[in-house]
Structure formats: C-alpha cells, structure tokens
Amino acid sequence: MSSSGGSKRGIVLYLHAHQPLRVRKYSIFDTAIKHDYFSEDEYDHDSDRNNEKVFRKVVDKSYRPMNALLEKMLAKHSDFKVSLSITGVFIEQAEKWAPDIIQTFQRMVKTGRVEIVSETYYHSLAFFYSMVEFEHQVAMHRKKIKELFGVDTKVFRNTELSYNDSMAKWADEYGFKGIMAEGWDPILQWRSPNYIYRPSGTDNTRLLLKNYRLSDDVAFRFSDRGWPEWPLNADKYNEWVNVALGDQNIVNLFMDYETFGEHQWKDTGIFDFYEAFIDKWLANSANTCYTVSEAIDAFEPAGEISMPHTVTWADTERDLTAWLGNRMQQEALRYIYSLEDDVIRTNDKNLINDWRKLQTSDHVYYMCTKWFNDGDVHAYFSPYDSPYDAFLSYMNIVRDIRWRLYSHRNTGGLGG
Amino acid sequence: MLGWELPPHHTGGLGVACYNIAKELALEGSSIDFVVPYKAPHPGSEFMTVHCATDLLPGSRFGLGVYDTPTFSTRPSKGVDADTNDINGVRDRYCKYVEKLAAKLHPDVIHAHDWLTMDAGICAKEITNAPLVVHVHATQFDQAGGKSGDPLIHEIEYNAMMMADRIVAVSQVTKNIIIDKYQIPADKIEVIHNSIDISSFNDSHKYDIETYKYLESLKSEGYTIILYLGRLTIQKGLTHLIKALARASEKYDKLVLLLAGEGEQRDDLIKVAAELGVSDKVFFANCFVHGKQVRDAYMVSDIFVMSSVSEPFGLTALEAAHYGNALIISKQSGVGEVLDSVLRYDFWDTDLLANQLVGIATSDALKKSLQQDVKTEYNRLSWHDVALSCLKMYKSLDGVTAS
C-alpha cells in the first residue's frame, strides 16, 4: 500500500443538501394559460406539493438543528471537518424562505474546515442527456457557490451519486481533483472502499468511495426497531468504524443532510448520537476528520477502479431505475431534453429557468412504479396521488413549455 | 351460509362472490351448509352442502334479480301460504326453511349475504344462539343511486346490522355508508375486499373485429376508445362521464365513449350528449351481460372508466383490466381501494376526469404503463385471502372455537 506515512487515519463526513421544486397539480386546462408550475393552488395549499410549506418544515426539523450542531462541533473540535453539497434549487428556496440557513452555512465555510462539493445546479440527470446542458449547470453551481461562499469547488459529485468511467474522465478533464461514488461490493470485489483510488482512464482526478454499510447504518437503519443492532449508540458505532478501518486510510460516511431530523426524527436521538460519535472518534489522537479535498491530498491512490456502467447510491440495485426505470420516466425526460435547443434559442430567461427546474431528478422519481413489485410503498415517498398523476401534471407542463416556445415563433409547432 | 344465488344460476356478482368465499373456506377445512331460495342442481359446488329452500325454478325466479329492487313493490307477506310470486313470500319461505335447518344443524357461525337473506340470518341466530355475520355486498343506498331507496329494505338492513355480531363490508366505501346511513359503530364493521378468480375468464374468447367495426376504424385513425360497461342508471354517474368527455374534447378531439349496457337512464344520456354537442362521440351498445359483445367491448377499448356515484366494489373494472384497459375509477368505487395502478377522481370532478382522459389518450407511455401495471396488481388478489380473513373473523367471535 502506498499511503502517505504520517497522515492520520480519518473519517470523511459528507452531507448532501437538496429540496426539489415540486410541480403543482397541473391540468390540461392550465396548459397554454397558466405558467406557474411550481406553486400549488390555494385549494391544495396544505399539500406536500406546496414547496414553501415543505421547505419551512424541513428547515425547522433538520437544517436549523443540524447546522447548530455542526457549528457546535466546529467550535468544540479543531480537527472536526465536514463536506457539503448544496444544490442550486435548495439555495434558491433558502434565500426566499430561510435566509438564516444560508448565513449559518456561510459562517461554517468561513472556518476553513467545511468544504463545498460541486454538482449540477438543478440536481439533474443532464449528464446522461446533454453534455452542453450538464456543463452549463455545473458552471452555474460553481458560480453560485463562489458568490455565496467565496470558494471554488474542487471535488465533484453527480446527482444521486451516479457515477461511471466517462463521468470520471469528464471530471478529470474539467480539472476536478476528485469525484465521489458508491463503494458498491460487486464493483469493488476484494477491494476496500477505505482508500483513495484512481478512476480508469484519468490522470489527475481521484475517486472517493462511500462506505455504504457504515453510512447506511446511520442514514437508513438508525431508528429501525426491527434491526437486530437497534438501538445504535455512539460506543457501538465508534467500535464498528474502528474495526472497519483497521490500518486502512479513511472511512467515507456519505449521507443525505436530512438524515438528521427528517429521515431520522429528533426523538430517535440522532443528533445526540452523531455528536457523541464525533466526540469519541476524535478523543483518540490517532484519528482525525478530513474534508474530501484533504483526504485526496493526504493519501496516495491504492489502485485503479473501473465502473463502465452507471452506479448510484440508490436502492438495492444501486442504479438509476428509480428515475429512468419505466416508460413514463423515459418519455418525460426525452421530451424535456428534446426541447433544449429551442428553449435556449428563445433567450427568454423565465422560460429557460422553468425548463431547467423541470430537469430536477425528483420529478421523474415521483413517477417510479418499481415499488409495485415489492409492495414497499413507503420506500418511495411522493406528494402525488400516484406515479401516473405525477406524470400527468408533468406532461401537461411539457406541453405548456412547447406552447410558450410556439408563441415565440421560434419553433415549428406544438407537436414537439 | 345464507345466499340468494350460486353459479351457474347467478345473475350478478353476488353469486360469484358467495361461491368463491365458500369454496376457499371449504379448502381451509370449514364445513359449509349453503341455503339458496330455489331448487336446482349446483354442479361444481360439491365442496359444500347446498340446501334448496323452495321448489321454485331458478330461471323464473320471482321475476327479478337480486338487485332489481327499485322496481318492485314490497307488499306485506301473507303468512304461511305466502304467494311465491312475491319476493316477500319467497323471503318468508326462505326464512322458515333456514329456521328449521339451523335448529337441526347447530352451526358455529351464521353468515348471511345481503338483505334478502338477512332476516333469515336473524331467525337462525335467535334459534341457535350462534353468532351472526352479515356480509354487505351492496346496501339499498347503493342501489338507489343517491335517492333514498326502499324504506322497508332499509329497515331489514338496519335490523340485521344491529343484530349482527359482526358486519363485513366489501370496501371502505361500503363501510362508510354503513356508518353514515345506518349509524352502526365503526368497530363492528370489518372491510374484506372482494377478489377475482382469474381462471373464470373465458380466455378462449376470440376477439371479433366485426362487432365494433366502426370503432375499430376510428382506432386505426388514432382515436382512443373509452368504455363504460354496466347498467345505465343514476348510480353510475354517467352524466358526469359524458360531461367530462365533452370537456376533454375541447383539448383533444380523438376520443370516443362506448356506453355498453342498458337501463332507464339511457334516453336522458342521449339527450345530455346531444346538448353538449358530442353525440357523434358517444356510442350506445345494448349489450347483454356475459355476452360476446361484452368481451368484445372490453377488447376494443383502451380506457375503462368506473364513474359510479356509489359502488360497493365494482368487479367489472378488474375484468376490464384483464382485457388490457387502463383504469380510471371514481373515489366512490370500492375496487379502487385495492389497486394502485389506476387514476382516481371524485365522481363529480369532470375537469379532473377530462384531464386524465386527455393525458392517457395523448401519452402512449402513460397508457401502456397503466394497462400493464394494473395486470400485475390484480393478479395478486385472491379469494383465498378473502376466506382467510373470514376465518380469522369467525374465530374472533364469542363462542366460536373451531373453524
């Protein structure tokens, strides 16, 4: 192994902050008349499609208490570090409805111990449809992060932690020093996710692999009373991390920001658990925390890894089937991306923005029908009555976008 | 078990449901005595003892089917020499027969299906002290379609529901009616959804393209065929359906509606379609139940709408799904409670229904997804599960120890 002597073994904590702009119940009788796709009617004001309502709720439950905890840890431990990705659609909503969250994020970044990770502004799957649009969204996000936090992003993660060799190649050429992916066993085989790797076909970029067992113990299983290890306490978890790491370099604990307070509610003890675990981990002077960039600087790659097929952090299949698995999802995205040239040509800022917001991956996630097979309805939360209803509203909006294009007289007709 | 009909002598879904529940219960080891009000052999029902309460022929059965109640008059019964041309006379005879039989058999549970057998159920309970289960497949409120219905039948239903140890409702829709209209406490009512016997479908049926030749040619021009199949009565919400069709046509023209069935509302519906200017898009087909025209109707159509104002269950939706239709089901129809791969709407919400119709008609992806996904779903329904739920309920009743 070629790890640098002298570097402490560490955990790499990474949290992903995102809230989509859900589309409202949008009828064919709205098409060509109303263009307010993202604001639910008065009639349905209390529905979970009401973005403001959902955002305010989740900020109260998750972002405010978690940011307070992270700031507390930063003050308490000089070697506490964390990396965050915050989507553009999240930032826009926070600016409108919870500007204090932006301020606490800014204070955290100012400590120099919180790194912001790059991604697409719209939390989209554009990489798989249009490289031009994809790069534009990455650039938009970098620009927004620079404006708000005064920093340049150095490490890239794509939506849903989706990753493949060609994405790594792109990140390498773009100049990112690192890229993040799921440490999925069928790909890794005998190899451990607890090292830095070099993606196949790249020169300078490095690969960070999520330790999914230890990450998901917290993100998914923490409050599951049917789990044999329940209740999980900091001592036990600290022990697991120690054992898993052994004499290797890093444990990458990647999870959704909303694990804290939203997926696992406060009364499960998730906040206290996280704090106690960090305290215990850092109490051992052989241990430290790294941001994603620091981890890449601290260690040499242990080898090369190739993932020709796309791997994500989702479901047991670790693929994109929750977003692109059925015909409705494929159609919806095909339609929206086929409008790219016409939309961009209009130079209509509102139209282009709306079109980009419709690329957020959550829209097609709500059309997922996978769970009909395993009957696990609760695994796929959706604010719509059914995947079919989600598709109906979305398609009526696609038609409205076409209509707006037509009204610009820049396209041939409404047929798409 | 007390019922009004069994295959092959059934006129509607009730007979099929009773048959399947009894069969699956027997397979689970229950011994069943089933009483019908007419005399006929029941090939295929050898798993239980079928008792015939009268010498009447099943075919000429009192001139009415189980659910033709709005059209007959409920005269008071005439004692021992009841006139068996009158439904109440038959009910009396049925009741007396059941009384005697129950005294002889001492059943563990008395399970009575719908209003015609309910007072017999009460008699049997009084004689034997065995617990009474009243199985509600449809109430008089469902039959009356928003009107109040026959007060005498209400009273029979109400008495039986009060006397019953347990009430089975075939859907949450029905349970809500029992709570709201009969003021029965919710915890006395258990929802056990109906199922479907896939093997009962006549898959040897060969689609005849000639039956609806004109519709076929519209289809080849890209039209989407919407089907309603059943009686043309107020209860079915068809005025709203035609309004929704007209509304949908404002946005997308290539839609036609096939109304397959007959009923007293037909002339009104023709008028409604004309007033809305969609007469050329609404087709009336006077089909007979079980007939070839019915199966061909299922097969020519793309979308099946169950538009009912109040539908206890709605088995036809599952049949339509079997023949490859996408389903749109009113929230007032019980069958929607067991299916996820459908679109749902409130029966009065014509704009939403129009939106759904246009959505399916203009998106092949949505149409195919609905059509295919619902097939995997109804395949999971089974009468066996219905019987297991019944057994579990029997065992929860006082005084019942064995199955």
Q: B108 in a domain, yes or no?
A: yes
- Each residue of A386-407: pLDDT tens digit? 999 999 999 999 999 999 998 8
Q: Look at A29 and B354 and tell me if their CB atoms are within 8 Å.
A: yes
B11 band by pLDDT with thresholds 50, 70 and 90? confident
Q: Are residues B214 and B363 in the same domain?
A: yes
Ranking A95-99, A330-334, B94-98, B284-288 by mean pLDDT, the lowest is B284-288
In angstroms, the separation between the Cα of residue A318 and the nearest Cα of chain B is 23
What is the C-alpha to C-alpha distance for residues A397 and B1, in angstroms, rounded to an integer? 55
Contacts of A163-168 with C-beta under 8 Å, sequence gap 24+, read A163/A307, A163/A310, A163/A311, A163/A312, A164/A307, A164/A308, A164/A309, A164/A310, A164/A311, A165/A199, A165/A200, A165/A201, A165/A306, A165/A307, A165/A308, A167/A127, A168/A199, A168/A200, A168/A201, A168/A202, A168/A205, A168/A207, A168/A307
What tokens were used for B14?
């009730």
ipTM entry: 0.80
Residues of B in contact with A330 (CB under 8 A): 365
Q: Look at A392 and B343 and tell me if their CB atoms are within 8 Å.
A: yes
What is the C-alpha to C-alpha distance for residues A233 and A250, in angstroms, rounded to an integer? 21
Calculate mean pLDDT across residues B185-191: 95
A416 band by pLDDT with thresholds 50, 70 and 90? very low
- Domain span at residue B322 reads 200-378
Q: Which pLDDT score, from 0 to 100, does residue B291 have?
A: 66
- Each residue of A152-208: pLDDT tens digit? 999 999 999 999 999 999 999 999 999 999 999 999 999 999 999 999 999 999 999
Of the candidates B167, B173, B163, the one whose C-alpha atom is nearest the C-alpha of residue B135 is B167
B157 band by pLDDT with thresholds 50, 70 and 90? very high
Q: Look at A391 and B366 and tell me if their CB atoms are within 8 Å.
A: yes
Residues of B in contact with A377 (CB under 8 A): 340
In angstroms, the separation between the Cα of residue A41 and the nearest Cα of chain B is 14
What tokens were used for A383?
């604010």
Write out the residues of chain A at the interface with chain B, using a CB-CB cutoff of 8 A.
Answer: 27-29, 31, 326-328, 330-332, 369, 372-373, 377, 385-389, 391-392, 395-396
Q: B28 in a domain, yes or no?
A: yes
Domain positions in chain A: 9-305, 321-407
Q: Which pLDDT score, from 0 to 100, does residue B15 have?
A: 87
- Each residue of A331-390: pLDDT tens digit? 999 999 999 999 999 999 999 999 999 999 999 999 998 876 655 544 567 899 899 999
Residues of B in contact with A388 (CB under 8 A): 341-343, 366, 369-370
Q: Which pLDDT score, from 0 to 100, does residue B146 have?
A: 59
What is the C-alpha to C-alpha distance for residues B253 and B218, in angstroms, rounded to an integer? 12
Calculate mean pLDDT across residues A238-254: 96
What tokens were used for B295?
């199966």
Q: Which pLDDT score, from 0 to 100, does residue B142 have?
A: 77
In angstroms, the separation between the Cα of residue B363 and the nearest Cα of chain A is 8
B11 touches chain A (CB under 8 A): no
Q: Which residue has better confidence, A45 or A134? A: A134
Q: B1 in a domain, yes or no?
A: no
- Each residue of A280-317: pLDDT tens digit? 999 999 999 999 999 999 999 999 999 999 999 988 88
Residue pairs between chains A and B whose CB atoms are closer than 8 Å: 69
Q: Are residues B29 and B178 in the same domain?
A: yes
- Each residue of B201-213: pLDDT tens digit? 666 667 877 778 8
Calculate mean pLDDT across residues A44-56: 86
Q: Annotated catalytic residue: which of A40, A133, A160, A262?
A: A160
Q: Out of 3.20.110.20, 3.40.50.720, 3.10.50.40, 3.60.15.10, which CATH number does the structure's domain A9-305 have? A: 3.20.110.20
Give the residue carrying structure tokens 């209003």.
Answer: B115
Q: Are residues B185 and B278 in the same domain?
A: no
What is the C-alpha to C-alpha distance for residues A348 and A406, in angstroms, rounded to an integer? 13
Count how many domains chain B has.
2
- Which residues fall within 8 angstroms of residue A341, CB to CB, at 6 or more apart? none
pLDDT at A103 over 50: yes
B76 band by pLDDT with thresholds 50, 70 and 90? very low
What is the C-alpha to C-alpha distance for residues B123 and B106, in angstroms, rounded to an integer? 13
Question: Taking each helix axis from N to C terminus, what angle separates B350-362 and B364-378, rounded to the nearest 10 degrees?
Answer: 100
Q: Which pLDDT score, from 0 to 100, does residue A41 have?
A: 67
Q: Which pLDDT score, from 0 to 100, does residue B68 have?
A: 44
Q: Look at A372 and B351 and tell me if their CB atoms are within 8 Å.
A: no
pLDDT at B379 over 90: no
Kind and range of the H or E element at B52?
strand B49-52
Residue B42: CATH number of its domain: 3.40.50.2000
B370 touches chain A (CB under 8 A): yes
- Which residues fall within 8 angstroms of residue B281, CB to CB, at 6 or more apart? B245, B249, B255, B256, B257, B273
Question: Which candidate in B247, B340, B345 is best for mutational testing of the A interface (most A CBs within 10 A)?
Answer: B340
Question: Which candidate in B329, B353, B358 is best for mutational testing of the A interface (most A CBs within 10 A)?
Answer: B358
- Each residue of A74-98: pLDDT tens digit? 999 999 999 999 999 999 999 999 9
Q: Is A294 among the catalytic positions?
A: no
What is the C-alpha to C-alpha distance for residues B240 and B354, in angstroms, rounded to an integer? 10
Q: Which of B247, B343, B351 sits opposite A388 (nearest CB)?
A: B343
Q: B297 in a domain, yes or no?
A: yes
Ranking A5-14, A212-221, B3-12, B297-306 by mean pLDDT, the lowest is B3-12
Q: Which residue has better confidence, A41 or B157? A: B157
Q: Which residue has better confidence, A4 or A303? A: A303
Q: Look at B251 and A392 and tell me if their CB atoms are within 8 Å.
A: no
- Which residues fall within 8 angstroms of residue B322, CB to CB, at 6 or more apart? B196, B198, B201, B298, B375, B378
pLDDT at B273 over 50: yes
Q: Are residues B98 and B141 in the same domain?
A: yes
Residues of A in contact with B248 (CB under 8 A): 28
